[in-house]
Amino acid sequence: MLYRVTYLYYRHVFDSMPATAGMTVNEEHTPTGAEEAVLNTFKHERQTRGSSRMTPKLIRERFVDEVMMGDGDGHSKQTVNYALKQLTAAGWVAKVSDGLYELVEDPREGR
C-alpha cells in the first residue's frame, strides 16, 4: 500500500513538473521544412488547446503541411520522428516521456 501511495505521489509531481527543467535552447539551430511543420503543429496545439504536449502520431494527424504529408510513400512517420529528434537535440522540444513531446520555445519569436 505504501508503495502505491508513494508511486502516485511521485507520478503527480512528475506530471506537474515542466519538461524543460535544466534544458538549454540552441538559438543557432535552423529548422528544416519538416521541423518547421512540427513546430507549427505544436504552436497551433498550444493556441487552440492550451497545451503543447503531443505524441508523434497526434502530430501526424493534426498538421496539414505538404512537407510532412509526403507523396503517400509512408515516410511521414519517419520524417516526424526525425524532426522531433532534431528539435529535441536543439532544445526547442522536450521529450517528456516515451512517445510524448512538448514545445519548449521557438527562440526566433523573442527576436
Considering the four listed CATH numbers 1.10.10.10, 1.10.150.530, 3.40.50.620, 3.30.2420.10, the one that applies to the domain covering 2-110 is 1.10.10.10
Q: Which of 9-13, 19-23, 79-83, 97-101 has the lowest mean pLDDT?
A: 9-13
Rounded Cα distance between 60 and 38, Å, is: 9
Please say if the pLDDT value at position 1 is more than 60. Answer: no
Scan for cell 506530471, then name that residue: 15
Please say if the pLDDT value at position 110 is more than 60. Answer: yes
Please say if the pLDDT value at position 4 is more than 60. Answer: no
pLDDT at 24: 82
Give the H/E segment covering residue 77: helix 76-90
Could you report the per-residue pLDDT of 38-93, keeping only the tens digit for each?
Answer: 999 999 999 999 888 999 988 888 865 444 555 444 458 888 999 999 999 999 99
